[in-house]
Structure 1
Amino acid sequence: MTIINAFRVVNIFRNASKSNVSPIQKYSSYVKYAEHKQLEKIRNIGISAHIDSGKTTLTERILFYTGRIDAMHEVRGKDNVGAVMDSMELERQRGITIQSAATYTIWKDHNINIIDTPGHVDFTVEVERALRVLDGAVLVLCAVGGVQSQTLTVNRQMKRYNVPFLAFINKLDRLGSNPYRVLKQMRSKMNHNAAFIHLPIGLEKECQGILDIIEEKAMYFDGDYGEIVRLDEVPQDRRAEVQERRHELIEHLSNVDEHLGELFLEEKTPTVEDIKQAIRRNTLKRTFTPVLLGTALKNKGVQPLLDAVLTYLPHPGEVENTAIINEVKDSEGQTIILDPKRDNSKPFVGLAFKLELSKFGQLTYLRCYQGVLKRGDNIYNARTSKKVKVSRLVRMHSNNMEEVNEVLAGDIFALFGVDCASGDTFVNDAKLNLSMESIHIPDPVVSMSIKPKNNKDRDNFSKAVARFTKEDPTFQFRYDPDNKETIVSGMGELHLEIYAQRMEREYNCPVELGKPKVAFRETMMSPCSFDYLHKKQSGGAGQYAKVTGIMEPLPPHQNTVLEFVDETIGTNVPKQFIPGVERGFLDTCQKGYLSGHKVSGVRFRLQDGAHHIVDSSELAFFLAAKGAVKDVFDEGAWQVLEPIMFVEVVLPDEYHGTVIGQLNKRGGIITGTEGAEGWTTIYAEVPLNNMFGYAGELRSMTQGKGEFSMEYSRYSPCLPDVQEQLIRKYQEEMGILPDQKKKKN
């Protein structure tokens, strides 16, 4: 036993003496979880869903049944404890997940790494970075709510990272639960080739267990906490339904699986093993989605879900992960496939996917994709080439750290004291210039002014902002020199409100948030040509540059981007000055002249120009491009775009008319409604600018029963009166009267 391990054993015994657990139990638990499994016995999964579908409750049950925790607690903890995975005090108070939390556990001699992710759209980046490093996922759906707006977002994220997943329809015990309707929605709204592998034995208060369609068995969950799984025969009155659904399952699999398709055509009955292998093959290819049932809160259906994770989801060796070899920095290199063997035959490659500040310093979560990393090794950040010595290696169980000596390919772990950004690649060979695909970061949609209530808290305020912007790339911070105020941007009001509360709690820095500001954009309505000469001669080297071309609007589906096209022929504009023209165009588009917002949805076509053999420079062409864009602002036709949100409102039927009337009043367009058993779901598209304060209004209209969620849909031209208000407000702020505006330009 090494000296380090001897010290660790002493600490385990010392800590165990302070708790009710015996030292022998504590040590055997340490040995059990520190042991490295074979590659085939590892699963990296995420639990993802729409808000309030029961993800954290499900994770709590998984940890209890696998023996990782000794007692289960509710998310909105009546006993003031709360769920293990909701370690932040704010999460326990609000009953929502704010940060994704990682843990690992053992089920049937398989090591399962789990990341519990938030459901609220405001914290969508947490889901993005979790899915980037996971091999498989469990998509949780509410048996009452079904496929909701955030379910569709999570589905898109899984598709982006090609993550195979199982669907788990939760909350069978809730009033109005209907898993059959949810399956229809999965097929119609999400276009999944999905079929049940479980059926419910009773719904709502009558929920007693589940029927396994493949094995043709009934499962009951006995004991105080449903920990005893009792298998029984399928009840007589349900056998016909089980046979029918089994036939439906085989039919859906036969459509995508060659082997099962042949058996189906030959009218042979596939064996249980045939069906399971076909489900696994097609789940990995994302051509089939198995649908499981249960109710996590009432302790039913969780153990079969764990079995399905082992049976149908991939181990790290079955997922192809690639990296790019850059021969020269920032160049596009060739792609190589990483080798997930759990040995040190290949160099270590890891991806940092999440940063968090703990009491010991910055904690960096990484996924090991290749090779082995040991305590004391040196690793290099592929982006910055900085060398870091690994002094501590830990695996996370929510906010508890458990030290390990080494990590192998397929493991998720954390390091201390590593200066990096989310999405950085780490290697153990300085010559290996590898980089892995980074994480997709959505653009912020809401901005608010922020300032500390007391001037003496400015230092703490700076520390808090520096930490939060580093941890969360969707939380952005800037100073607006025109309005002389500090602006924070994020994914929604709740997102910014949570960070304001965290500043007060964690940094003792109360802050004031101003009225939310919407990220409007400006764009062109019709093409406009330009011919601009920049000429300056005042002794010494002069400046000379001429640019000619057209600025034109991009199609509506591209109205959030800027495009620069070089159409020059010959040497009128030397190629070395083209980047200067592009920079001048992009720089001027940072602030429009109509309402002061960013310009987007515009293409700058440089067609010709002129240069001087002595006086031309990149700076001269940069200034010429800026002048050309300003000319187009004066001559062209411009309009303001605003973000449109996809809004989903769930409410009791009796408030249907009132809520639709209110959405219309807010400038919304109703795109569809859906009703089921006393509840209505309204789908609408509403300008974000009109959605502030809607949460309180909806609660008062529906006596607290209605709830809504929204996510960014697209940018669209705003109404003339809104545009007029924005222009007038901007002119007042800048001290420009309408007739003076042209002069200033």
Structure 2
Amino acid sequence: MGLQEEISRRRTFAIISHPDAGKTTLTEKLLLFGGAIHVAGAVKSNKIKKTATSDFMEIEKQRGISVATSVMGFEYGGHKVNILDTPGHQDFAEDTFRTLTAVDSVIIVVDAAKGVEAQTRKLMEVCRMRNTPVIVFINKMDRPSKHPFDLLEEVEEELKINVRPLSWPIGNGPSFQGVYNIFEQNLNLFEASKQTLGESISFADINSSELEGYIGDDASAVLREEHEFVEGVYPEFEVEDYLAGNLAPVLFGSALNNFGVNELLDCFLKIAPKPQASNTDLREVKPEEDKFSGFVFKIHANMDPNHRNRIAFVKICSGKFERNKNYLHVRQGKNFKFSSPTAFMAEKKSIIDEAFPGDIVGLPDSGNFIIGDTLTSGEKMSFKGLPSFSPELFRYIENDDPMKSKQLAKGIDQLMDEGVAQLFTSSFNGRKVIGTVGALQFEVIEHRLAHEYNAKCRYEPINLHKACWIRSENAAQLADFKKRKHQYMAKDKQGRDVFLADSSYMLQLAQQNFEDIEFHFTSEF
């Protein structure tokens, strides 16, 4: 199969949502339908032995939440499908933002009872910035929920995008009987089964009197009436509008009970985009180009805690990636050869010989990579759009066990490279400051240091408002600023100057008094 054919059959997407909307459960069922796993796991507490495939970190299994993006790939219907399951919790939004740079489309999961929630709105803004096509999956229809038309109106208003239902639920809660697939024009009735793929009954003509035999008189009358209303009110579905990011197809179902998941997967494969072009600091890179290029969008330490290994997740943007071939690490200006590149099923890895645009490849890393690094066949360019965001919560981090200082230093170093949080070293007293965008990240760092690095840390309070990166063409003014604000100056992990403002007033004053200094709130400038 040639490069063009390999690109055309790939679909790389992220699943995003507010916490508890059922995102990781949906991922499990997509893997189940794709034949990648045979028993779906539960995303609950550690009392259930079989946990979700994508939640493989110890803290994820204990808490029943996702705290890191996981990557899973499988073959289905002649397509190579790459799913990235992202954290829903807002404290891990930065990981999700970066993940969205590595995908070509997105599935947004909405809880049918709660509707659109705050975190979903934020994530949709990122999709809109990048014109990423989105499909909306309204989940948990087997529970008492809002009326489908109310949900559609809410999605339009809250996410600011036009919608078009491609499937329609028959009842909800205890009366939920399945979905009518408008896109394929057939009826699918499922038996609730959390573990296996229930048999579906296909049914072509919604106006046939046989419909009553399947779902009863009342449900049939309601379905016909609502279907007629859908066809009259919502625009015809045009794939071009979806691909341009102007229209969101909506499907209904229950991931936990396998309702509507197969329809979602089949519809997605038909309409979702193949790998798209990416922007660099020099030019636009197209997937069809012969020469390889890709970028690191995530680093994960200790995927196998027994071996203390690090994996750099690389999104392939163009050409063919080959095992044991030399590639240029643009930032370091060195060539690297990778003997054991891997493909993923969450933490399960298999070594691959080649990969194509749209694929996510794991490269064993001994500390050479940071997030945003570019690999190419020789061209010196860097992919754009992978910033670190200015943290808003800060604490000093101290060693709580003098015998384990090396383990702590190594643990902090590796976790910061992952982008879990950011590390600043104070120029005033040399103390280490951890900055995060969410409070839960401090717990995750402490837990992972203890369980993965056998190191104990403790936090001490520090009163700071915001961290911002500074630079200036005016060397004298920059030197003057750093001297005056010495107590509030720090260096980040890359050695760049960072100003740690202790209040919004102090930051505002600094910006007014030092006009030649640029204050940046993301690390990409």
What TM-score comes out, normalization by structure 1 length?
0.60
Question: Secondary structure at 2:96's aligned position in 1?
Answer: helix
Among candidates 157, 160, 173, match of residue 126 of structure 2: 157
Q: Distance in 1 between matches of 2:515 and 2:426?
A: 33
Q: Distance in 2 between matches of 1:362 and 1:355?
A: 7
Instruction: Mark the runs of 5 or more structure 1 residues left unpaired by the alignment.
Output: 1-34, 254-274, 326-334, 523-559, 565-576, 608-624, 626-745
Alignment of 1:197-596 (within 5 A): 197-222=166-191, 224=193, 225-232=196-203, 233-234=205-206, 235=211, 236-237=220-221, 238-250=223-235, 253=236, 275=237, 278=238, 280-316=239-275, 319-325=276-282, 335=283, 337-341=284-288, 346-358=290-302, 359=307, 361-417=309-365, 419-429=368-378, 432-472=379-419, 474-479=421-426, 481=428, 486-515=432-461, 517-520=462-465, 578-585=474-481, 588-589=484-485, 591=487
Q: Distance in 1 between matches of 2:514 and 2:67?
A: 44
1:74 matched residue in structure 2: 42
Task: Tell me: CA distance 1:479–1:290, structure 2 relative to 1, closer, same or farther (3 Å).
Answer: same
Alignment of 1:104-123 (within 5 A): 104-123=73-92
1:265 matched residue in structure 2: none
- 1:457-501 CA deviation, whole Å, 9 max, x = no partner? 21211111111111116332435855x854322122211011101
The count of corresponding residues between Structure 1 and Structure 2 is 480
8 Å contact from structure 2 (residues 341, 351) kept in 1 = yes
1:603 matched residue in structure 2: 512
CA apart distance, 1:371? 1.2
Structure ranking higher in helix proportion:
1
Q: Distance in 2 between matches of 1:485 and 1:562?
A: 20
- Residue 152 (structure 2) pairs with residue 183 (structure 1): yes
Structure 2: which amino acid aligns with 1:103? M
Question: Secondary structure at 2:281's aligned position in 1?
Answer: strand
CA apart distance, 1:130? 1.1
Q: Percent identity?
A: 24
Structure 2: which amino acid aligns with 1:282? D
Task: Tell me: CA distance 1:243–1:175, structure 2 relative to 1, closer, same or farther (3 Å).
Answer: closer
CA apart distance, 1:581? 2.2
CA apart distance, 1:301? 0.7
CA apart distance, 1:302? 0.4
8 Å contact from structure 2 (residues 10, 79) kept in 1 = yes
Instruction: Mark the runs of 5 or more structure 2 residues left unpaired by the alignment.
Output: 212-219, 490-499, 518-525
Q: Distance in 2 between matches of 1:243 and 1:146?
A: 24
Question: Secondary structure at 1:38's aligned position in 2?
Answer: helix
Q: Distance in 2 between matches of 1:561 and 1:462?
A: 24
Question: Secondary structure at 1:230's aligned position in 2?
Answer: coil
8 Å contact from structure 2 (residues 427, 487) kept in 1 = no
CA apart distance, 1:445? 1.2
Q: Distance in 2 between matches of 1:470 and 1:70?
A: 34
Task: Tell me: CA distance 1:474–1:360, structure 2 relative to 1, closer, same or farther (3 Å).
Answer: closer
CA apart distance, 1:50? 0.8
Task: Tell me: CA distance 1:597–1:590, structure 2 relative to 1, closer, same or farther (3 Å).
Answer: farther
1:146 matched residue in structure 2: 115
- Residue 106 (structure 2) pairs with residue 129 (structure 1): no
Task: Tell me: CA distance 1:223–1:495, structure 2 relative to 1, closer, same or farther (3 Å).
Answer: closer
Q: Distance in 2 between matches of 1:284 and 1:231?
A: 28
Q: Distance in 1 between matches of 2:428 and 2:515?
A: 31
* Rg comparison, structure with higher value: 1
CA apart distance, 1:189? 2.0
- 1:180-214 CA deviation, whole Å, 9 max, x = no partner? 33322222222111132222111112222112234
8 Å contact from structure 1 (residues 172, 178) kept in 2 = no
8 Å contact from structure 2 (residues 311, 363) kept in 1 = yes
2:497 matched residue in structure 1: none
CA RMSD of aligned residues (A): 2.8
Task: Tell me: CA distance 1:449–1:480, structure 2 relative to 1, closer, same or farther (3 Å).
Answer: farther
- 1:261-292 CA deviation, whole Å, 9 max, x = no partner? xxxxxxxxxxxxxx4xx1x1111101111111
8 Å contact from structure 1 (residues 443, 474) kept in 2 = no
CA apart distance, 1:142? 0.8
Question: Secondary structure at 1:295's aligned position in 2?
Answer: coil
- 1:367-420 CA deviation, whole Å, 9 max, x = no partner? 111111211101111122121112112111100111111112222111113611
Q: Distance in 1 between matches of 2:324 and 2:112?
A: 49
- 1:323-359 CA deviation, whole Å, 9 max, x = no partner? 233xxxxxxxxx2x32312xxx622111111112232
2:9 matched residue in structure 1: 41
Question: Secondary structure at 1:315's aligned position in 2?
Answer: coil
2:139 matched residue in structure 1: 170
Structure 2: which amino acid aligns with 1:244? F
Q: Distance in 1 between matches of 2:396 and 2:38?
A: 45
8 Å contact from structure 1 (residues 441, 474) kept in 2 = no
Q: Distance in 1 between matches of 2:7 and 2:320?
A: 13
Among candidates 81, 87, 91, match of residue 60 of structure 2: 91
8 Å contact from structure 2 (residues 54, 70) kept in 1 = yes
Q: Distance in 2 between matches of 1:503 and 1:606?
A: 41
Q: Distance in 1 between matches of 2:463 and 2:29?
A: 41
Q: Distance in 1 between matches of 2:486 and 2:246?
A: 43
8 Å contact from structure 2 (residues 6, 356) kept in 1 = no
Question: Secondary structure at 2:93's aligned position in 1?
Answer: helix
Q: Distance in 2 between matches of 1:586 and 1:414?
A: 40
1:61 matched residue in structure 2: 29
